[in-house]
Amino acid sequence: MSTPVAVVTGASSGIGAATARQLASLGFDVLCAARRLERVEALAGEIGGRAIGVDITSPDDVARLAQAAGPRVAILVNNAGGALGQEPLAQADLDAWETMWRTNVLGTARVTKALLPALTAAQGVVVFVTSTAADSGYEGGAGYCGAKAAERAMVESMRLELFDQPVRVTEICPGMVHTSEFALTRFHGDQARADAVYAGVPDPLSADDVADAIVWMATRPAHVNVDRLTIRPRAQAAQHKVFRATVG
């Protein structure tokens, strides 16, 4: 029997890289996909997986991804995406909004559509990594919250559309996760603003915490579907209510 294939997008860092490592440790043939080829090549070499440079907004790149994945895909982790900016609507950078929609929404849809025949053939599972930002808006979050809410709409629609097919459609919604790049990318390299997101918060989630949950969801028995799982640090009671210890 051939080794089951798992595809992880956005695998060059953070949650994607942590998920790829954990899936490889369970014996999956992990196809690590990201724009930064040198990063995923290093990761693939570390875990015994395969690397492919993919921009999920490119139809040609996604076609290459589907070809590399092969005719049967046991797990697809739609992790590529991210946030850009946190300005109020009145000052919104709409170019950044378009980028968030091209990646989180259209890119994710493109990858899922391309790999769906292989997922069906393998009776596989797709895990969409959305966010608690999909639950409701917050100040400065209209662009990102809207993109993640649209991604959630894909999840809900697909599950209904595929109710009679052997494919599981799942969603994980992380809250505050401290990774090396998410906030830094959001604030265009401003380290001080990125650090302020987590200042005083005791034990925000790590990428490994979220990867643990993703792998658990993806490896349930074939008849078990984890529709949606919200995961937050204990210090984050809700999107807007976060405990911060006094600093200094």
User: For residue 23, what is the domain's CATH number?
Assistant: 3.40.50.720
Structural domain count, the chain: 1
Domain that holds residue 97: 5-242
Alpha helices in the chain (DSSP H): 14-25, 37-47, 59-69, 94-100, 108-121, 142-161, 182-186, 191-198, 207-218
Residue 54 lies in a domain: yes
Q: What does the pLDDT look like over 29-47, one tens digit per residue?
A: 999 999 999 999 999 999 9
Do the domain assignments include residue 247? no
CA distance 159 to 227: 9
Task: Say if 34 falls within a structural domain.
Answer: yes
Q: What is the pTM of this model?
A: 0.95
CB neighbour list of residue 38: distance below 8 Å, 6 or more residues apart? none
* Length of the chain as a residue count: 248
* Residue 72: per-residue pLDDT: 98
What pLDDT digit, counting tens, does each position of 204-233 carry? 999 999 999 999 999 999 999 999 999 999
Using one digit for the tens of pLDDT, what is the confidence trace for 182-203? 878 888 887 888 888 889 999 9
Is the confidence at residue 248, as pLDDT, over 80?
Answer: no
Active-site position among 28, 97, 128, 144? 144
**What is the dihedral angle through the alpha carbons of 121, 125, 126, 127, rounded to the nearest 10 degrees?**
-170
**Residue 248 placed within a domain:** no
What digits encode the pLDDT tens for the residues 45-77?
Answer: 999 999 999 999 999 999 999 999 999 999 999
- The reply to whether 198 belongs to the active site is no
Any domain includes 188 = yes
